[in-house]
Amino acid sequence: MRALIQRVSHASVTVEGKTISSIGKGLLILLGVGHGDGEEQANFLAEKIANLRIFEDEQGKTNLSVLDVKGEAIVVSQFTLYADASRGRRPGFTDAALPEVAAPLVTRFVELLRSHNVPTQTGQFGAHMLVEIHNDGPVTIWLEK
């Protein structure tokens, strides 16, 4: 399981012209599910992300988590995090889990993040989404389990 985390001042997800998720200060999490991923990976990443200290304190040091700043999160399923562009010019996605495996695991990850008291919204699995990201910093973190 792979997560690309961006610290945001604002983020939103729009599907077919309708905004389905919108947050202020918090995290935009692009989440990819690979073959063999399961509950262990989802648990690890949810706990890690909820407590990841990437927000600045009063001294400007990154000592605070999304929980500390009372931020929110949006989770967007992103199979393209498993792109393999090592050969040719067209990426392959065979390392990404099939939708029937990935969708329930993305939902489970969202449940686990919420269980850590992070208010969490989502994109729409499998939809064409417009994701607006106001990356704060910019701060972008790659996590993998």
Active site residue 6: no
Q: Which of 41, 79, 120, 122 is catalytic?
A: 79
CA distance 35 to 83: 13
User: Which pair of structure tokens corresponds to residue 9?
Assistant: 């001042």
131: CB partners within 8 A, 6+ apart: 11, 12, 13, 14, 28, 76, 123
CB atoms closer than 10 angstroms to residue 39: 11
Active site residue 120: no
Q: Which of 78, 120, 121, 122 is catalytic?
A: 78
Q: Tell me the catalytic residues.
A: 78-80
